[in-house]
Amino acid sequence: MTELVYCATPSRLSNLTETIVDYVAKEGYAPLHPFLAMPYKYFEGGIVGRNKTIEYCFRLVDICPHFWLFGISEGTLEELSRAQSSDKIFRFPFLHFDPEWNEFYQNLASKYGDPLANLFPIQRLTKQN
C-alpha cells in the first residue's frame, strides 16, 4: 500500500502545488496537500478561517506517516511542531522548492526557536548561506 505524505507548503508557494504533488507521486507516495484538500477561498481565506484551518491541517498531519517540508513559513513550522510530537518519517525538500527558506527561518526563529535542529543539519546550511 502506498503511504500518505503530508506536503507542508507555505501559501507563498501555492503556485508550486501541482509540481510538489507530482514530485511526491514520482517518489512513489500518495501526496496529501492541504491546498488541494482545503481550498484557500473556502478555508483559510473563507468561512472556516485560519485558526480552524490550521486545526484541520494538524488532523491531516496526524494521519500521515510521512511529513515533507517544502518551504518555511509560520504555518509550516506549526505543522512541523505538530509532526514532531509523533513518530513521523521526515524529508526536507524545501532546499529545492523554497529559495527564500533561510530568510523566513531566521525571521521566525524568535517565535519557534530551531525546530529543525534535531531533524536536519540546519546550522551547517545557515552558515553557508
pLDDT of residue 128 exceeding 80: no
Where in the chain does DSSP place strands (E)?
4-8, 30-32, 66-69, 89-91
What average pLDDT does the structure give for the chain?
90
Q: For residue range 31-65, list pLDDT tens digits in order.
A: 999 999 999 899 998 999 999 999 999 999 999 99
State which residues form the domain around 106: 4-128
Mean pLDDT of 105-119: 84
What is the total count of domains within the chain? 1
pLDDT of residue 129 exceeding 50: no
Give me the pLDDT at residue 121, please.
Answer: 60
Chain-centroid distance of CA 22 in Å reads: 16
Give me the pLDDT at residue 126, please.
Answer: 44
**34 phi, psi to nearest 5 deg:** -60, -30
